[in-house]
Amino acid sequence: ARRAKAFGLQIHYHNRKPVSHVVADELEATYWESLDQMLARVDIVTVHAPANPASFHLLSARRLKLLQPHAIVINTARGSIIDEQALADLLADGKVAGAGLDVFEQEPRINPKLLKLPNAVLLPHMGSATVEARVDMGEKVIINIKTWMDGHRPPDRVLPQML
């Protein structure tokens, strides 16, 4: 939001609850209790949410149809949050102006329709490719290895049944 504001964009957001007044005032941010109402009025939608049952297809076909034809959708969060087929159809029909996607619903597979669209920018899940994120990832690995070497259960272990 700070970067968007630096480019002169107005900040509108939807969340389970509003951010603190300090943050909202700093960003001159407008909180929308209704996601539907917000989507119908904004020019750019960026998705920043975890993948969970409540966020699956949060941007459903119905909600994507609320967007204005000049709207742009950006998703660097999780692919399952957007109904990717509905988005591809709206992009192809010119009912949504563009999309920037760093994550995909069926990752690593990419919807073939998206691959053919000139108004879709597709990246190979590299939104986390910052120095800070990579350092955090490395530190997390070290903590897991040290924990295991000390005979304890690593905090971030992945079990085959979880895959």
Residue 128 has pLDDT above 80, yes or no: no
Residue 69 has pLDDT above 60, yes or no: yes
Looking at residue 143, its pLDDT comes to 95
- For residue range 105-121, list pLDDT tens digits in order: 998 899 999 999 999 99
Instruction: Report if residue 29 sits inside a domain.
Output: no
Q: Cβ–Cβ contacts within 10 Å for residue 39, how many? A: 21
| Catalytic, out of 12, 14, 63, 78 | 78
Same domain, 53 and 118: yes
Same domain, 108 and 138: no
| Catalytic, out of 28, 48, 62, 107 | 107
pTM of the predicted protein model: 0.80
Instruction: Report if residue 159 sits inside a domain.
Output: yes
Residue 150 lies in domain: 130-163
- For residue range 131-146, list pLDDT tens digits in order: 888 898 899 999 999 9
H or E stretch covering 128? none
Same domain, 120 and 57: yes
Residue 50 has pLDDT above 60, yes or no: yes
Instruction: Out of 87-91, 104-108, 124-128, pick the least confident.
Output: 124-128
Same domain, 74 and 120: yes
Same domain, 140 and 109: no
Provide the b/e sequence for 135-144 (b: ≥16 CB within 10 Å): eeeeeeeeee
Same domain, 152 and 105: no
> What CATH number does the domain containing 79 carry?
3.40.50.720
Mean pLDDT along residues 60-69: 98
Looking at residue 90, its pLDDT comes to 98
Q: Cβ–Cβ contacts within 10 Å for residue 105, how many? A: 21
Looking at residue 102, its pLDDT comes to 94
Instruction: Report if residue 27 sits inside a domain.
Output: no
Residue 148, token pair as written in the block: 């295991």
Instruction: Report if residue 59 sits inside a domain.
Output: yes
Same domain, 68 and 95: yes
Please indicate whether residue 125 is annotated as part of the active site.
yes
Looking at residue 12, its pLDDT comes to 97
Same domain, 43 and 123: yes
Please indicate whether residue 107 is annotated as part of the active site.
yes
Measured distance CA(120)–CA(12) in Å, rounded: 23
Name the band, by pLDDT with cuts 50, 70 and 90, for residue 82: very high
Name the band, by pLDDT with cuts 50, 70 and 90, for residue 162: low
Q: Look over the chain and give the mean of its residue pLDDT values, rounded to a whole number.
A: 93
Domain count, the chain: 2
